[in-house]
Structure 1
């Protein structure tokens, strides 16, 4: 399996990006790096390289376990890439998702005036 595949094509093939043009654009904007160096979309990848993709507010890391230029199903893509994102980055992502958002049960609709007053009272405390 000594194929030569462009990094944008591989990122698209293993379903990290929805389209190849999105993968290419991320490379051009400096959001994709290997070994701390921002890469061009035309760079060829090698086995066991770690690719870092900056997705604010975190940086996701992937390890190349196999190379393919053909788009595959999600179940097959797991064999070609390994997510090695650091746990502190994932914790940061969870913290940003839960901070500042209120949750309501699905189907309850908008809060009534009484509900709004109770919510405002709880927020002030």
Structure 2
């Protein structure tokens, strides 16, 4: 389907600290509640590439992130955050219309 380097979805989620451990990342992927570029994913070995959009639940929030970099390891949080950018920030307030307070 795509070209270029890739990383398994479960490893990506674990490496960038969106899952506490790899087995949790595998379970999350296999539950079918993650979307990769709009398509439902049911396999943890689905390849993730730079530029892909991942939609996943985190608590009561649905997050959409863009893959910016494929990590080589599970490093510190500051390093992990450089591997993706948030498309829909989880805690951003809703914009107010003009005239509202």
TM-score by length of 1: 0.63
Larger Rg: 1
Structure 1 residue matching 2:62: 3-state secondary structure: strand
Higher helix share: 1
Cα 1:57–1:80 shift into 2, 3 Å = same
Whole-angstrom distance in 1 between the partners of 2:39 and 2:9: 14
Bigger RCO of structures 1 and 2 (CA < 8 A, at least 6 apart): 2
Structure 2 unaligned blocks of 5 or more: 95-101
Partner in structure 2 of residue 22 of structure 1: 24
Cα 1:44–1:69 shift into 2, 3 Å = farther
- Within a 5 Å distance, the mapping from 1:1-125 to structure 2 comes to 3-39=5-41, 40-85=43-88, 90-91=92-93
Q: Render the CA deviation track for 1:69-117: whole Å, top value 9, x for unaligned.
A: 4111011112111121157x8548xxxxxxxxxxxxxxxxxxxxxxxxx
Whole-angstrom distance in 1 between the partners of 2:5 and 2:85: 19
Higher strand share: 2
TM-score by length of 2: 0.76
Aligned length: 90
